[in-house]
Amino acid sequence: MLEECLELELRLGRHHEIAGELADLVAEHPLRERLCALLMLALHHDGRTAEALEAYRRTRTALVEELGLEPGAALRRLEHAILTGDDALAPPASSAGRAAGPVRPRQLPPDVADLTGRDEIAAGMRELLRTAPDGTAVTVVAISGQAGVGKTTLAVHVAHAVSGAFPDGQLYADLRGGWQAHRAGPDEVLARFLRALGMAGSEIPRGADERAKEYRSRLAGRRLLVVLDNAADEAQVRPLIPGTPSCAVLVTSRAKLAGLPGARLVELGVLDTSRAVELLGRIAGAGRVAAEAGAARELVRLCGGLPLALRIMGARLVVHGRATIAELARRLADESRRLDELSYGDLEVRGSLSYSFHRLSPRAKRLLCLLAHLYAPDVSAWTCAALLGTDRPPDTTGRMTRLRRSASTWERPVS
C-alpha cells in the first residue's frame, strides 16, 4: 500500500517532496526493487541523475551479495532508460512550477499516544525549546541513552508538542549513526533539507560547506525546528545546526554529545517498575495487566524496564489474546531464547544491541564476550585485564559498560 501511495505522488509530480522519504525506505529495505525504482525516478525527475544511478548500483550490489541474483528486468530497463536519457522518463507537467512564497516543511514522524513515565523530562524539554535564547546561540537539546530506551519516541513527542512555536516548519532526519556503512553524511542530509525548503535539485551546491551556507541562509530569521535522530557524534551534527537563534535543534544519540557548544543534555534511563507496568497496561490493556499484577511485574523485570522490550511484549499480548502474561514471562525467563522472544514484526531488541555492539573496538568486543561468562553484573578493571591476558587495565568506554549491562539483562552469549 505504501509503495502504491508513493507511486501516485510521483505521478502527481511530487518527486521533490518524496525523494527523502524514499531514500530512507530503500535504506531500510535494500532488497525491494520497486522502492528502488521509485527512488530512481524521483531522483532523476529532480535533476539528480547521478544519484539515481548510484541507487541502482547499491540495490544491485545488495541483491547479488544477499541473494545471488541480478535485478529484475523492469529495474534494468529503468537504469538503461535513465542512462540513455529516454524522453518517456520526463517528469509530469504538473511539477514544472512551484508555488510562490517560502516552503514550510512538516517532516515529523507520527506521535505516539502512550508515552509513559517521561512527563517531567518532556515538560523541561518543551520549556527549553519554547524559550527564546538570550543571545545569538541556537538552542540545542541532546537526548542520550541506551538502545531501545525511547529516545526517538520522546523527541518526536516533544517536537509535536512545540511545533506551534515553530510556524516556519519542522525538519527531520534519521542520521543512522550506529552503522558506519549506512551513516548519513552531513552533505546528504543538507541536500535533503534544502530540497525540503524548496530548492530544486539542480540548484543545490556541491560540497557540505557550500550546502551548509545555503542551508543557514534559507533559515535566517525563520522559526524552524530541526530534529536529528540517531546521531553518531558531534561531527555529524555540527554542520546541520542553523545559524539563527530563532531556530532550535533536538538531537538523539546513544552517546552524550557534550562536545556540542551550549547543548542541554538530557540522559534517558529505563522505566521504573510502576511506570513500566503502566506502559504495558496502556498497550495490552490495563484490566488484563491488573488481573496478573505479579506476572506483569516479573515480565517488566525480565524486560529490564526497557520501553522497546515492553512494547514488543505488549504487542504480542494484543495479537495472542488467549496468552497469559505469566506464560510470556516463563518463555522470557529462558535466557537461551530471550532475544528470540523479544521480537515482533520489525521491532526487536537483538538488532538494537547489535547496533551498539558494532560500534565497539575489536578489543572491547572481545572483552564483552569474555565478560558474559562471568555471570556478574559488575567487574573490576583488574578482572578485565586478566581476561584479556594483560597486566594493564583496558581503557573501556561508558558505551561498552552500558552495553554490558544491557546484554546481561537479555541473554548470556555462548562461545
Name the least confident of 95-104, 277-286, 289-298. Answer: 95-104
Cβ distance 311 to 276 under 8 Å?
A: no
Contacts (Cβ under 8 Å, ≥6 apart) of 415: 369, 373
Is 359 or 283 the better-scoring residue by pLDDT? Answer: 283
Question: Which residue, among 32, 77, 19, 82, has the nearest Cα to 58 in the 3D structure?
Answer: 32
> What is the predicted pLDDT for the residue at 196?
92
* Residues comprising the chain, all counted: 415
pLDDT at 180: 60
What's residue 354's pLDDT? 72
Locate 370 and state its grid cell.
569474555
Query: Is residue 42 predicted with pLDDT exceeding 90?
Result: no
Find cell 541562509 and name the residue. 217
Mean pLDDT of 238-259: 94
Question: Among residues 210, 257, 202, which one has the least CA distance to residue 43?
Answer: 202
Distance CA 154, CA 162 (A): 12
Neighbours of 312 (CB within 10 A): 22
Q: Dig out the grid coordinates for 246 from the structure.
A: 530563532
Model confidence at 381, pLDDT cuts 50, 70, 90, reads confident
Closest CA to 300 of 285, 319, 314: 314
Location of C-alpha cell 556541491: 206
- For residue 167, what pLDDT is reported? 92
**Please, which pLDDT band fits residue 100 given cuts at 50, 70 and 90?**
very low
Distance CA 165, CA 250 (A): 14
Decide if 222 contacts 246 (C-beta within 8 A). yes
Cα–Cα distance measured from residue 217 to residue 261, given in angstroms and rounded to the nearest whole number: 21
Integer CA distances (angstroms), 72 to 43, 60, 146, in order: 20, 10, 40
pLDDT at position 300 is 95
Q: What integer pLDDT is reported at residue 84 of this predicted model?
A: 80
Read off the pLDDT band of 98 (50, 70, 90). very low
Structure confidence at residue 174 (pLDDT): 94
Cβ contacts of 395 within 8 Å, gap of 6 or more: none
Instruction: State pTM to two decimals.
Output: 0.69
C-alpha cell read off for 299: 515480565
Name the more confident of 62 and 6.
62
pLDDT for the residue numbered 134:
74
Output phi, psi for 230, to 5 deg.
Answer: 60, 50
Query: What does the mean pLDDT of the chain come to?
Result: 85
Contacts of 117 (CB under 8 A, 6+ apart): 271, 272, 275, 276, 278, 279
How distant, in Å, are the alpha carbons of 40, 86, 89 from that of 26? 10, 24, 21
Inform me whether the pLDDT recorded for 378 exceeds 80: no
